C-alpha cells in the first residue's frame, strides 16, 4: 500500500527500496510524498470545511439581504459561451496537439 503517513523531503532523499531499486525524491526544494488515499482524505476534509464556511456566508447574506433569496441568477444566457468559445476551442486544440505529439 502507498504511504499512509505523508513524508516531507527537504532535498534529495532516499526514502525506500523496491525490488533492488532505491526510491528517492525531493531533488529541488521541499516535496511531500503521500499515498493517494491520504491525499483524497485531506482534500475531502478541506472541501467539507469550505462548504461549511460557504453555508455560513450564505446564511449571513440571507439575513442581511433577504430580497435576494428568491432571486434567480442566470450564469449563461448564451452570451458568455459565445464570447469565450473561440478562445476555448483554440486552447483545447493546443492541448490535443501536445497530447498527440507526446508533450
Instruction: Examine the domain organization and report whether 10 and 25 are in the same domain.
Output: yes
Residues 64, 83: one domain? Answer: no
The number of folded domains in the chain is: 3
Question: Do residues 9 and 25 both lie within one domain?
Answer: yes
25 and 7 co-located in one domain? yes
What is the reported pLDDT for 9? Answer: 83
Give the per-residue pLDDT at 63. Answer: 93
3-state SS, residue 6: coil
The pLDDT tens digits for 22-73 are 988 877 778 888 888 888 988 999 999 999 999 999 999 999 998 888 887 7
The range of the structural domain enclosing residue 64 comes to 38-71
Does residue 2 register a pLDDT over 60?
A: no
User: 36 is written with which cell numbers?
Assistant: 493517494
Q: Is the pTM of this model over 0.85?
A: no
d(CA 57, CA 63): 10
The span from the CA of 8 to the CA of 15, in Å, is 10
Amino acid at each position: 500500500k502507498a504511504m499512509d503517513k505523508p513524508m516531507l523531503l527537504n532535498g534529495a532523499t532516499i526514502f525506500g527500496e523496491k525490488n533492488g531499486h532505491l526510491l528517492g525524491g525531493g531533488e529541488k526544494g521541499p516535496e511531500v510524498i503521500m499515498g493517494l488515499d491520504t491525499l483524497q482524505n485531506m482534500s475531502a476534509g478541506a472541501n467539507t470545511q469550505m462548504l461549511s464556511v460557504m453555508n455560513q456566508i450564505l446564511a449571513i447574506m440571507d439575513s442581511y439581504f433577504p430580497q435576494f433569496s428568491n432571486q434567480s441568477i442566470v450564469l449563461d444566457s448564451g452570451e458568455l459561451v459565445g464570447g469565450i468559445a473561440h478562445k476555448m476551442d483554440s486552447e483545447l486544440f493546443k492541448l490535443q496537439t501536445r497530447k498527440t505529439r507526446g508533450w
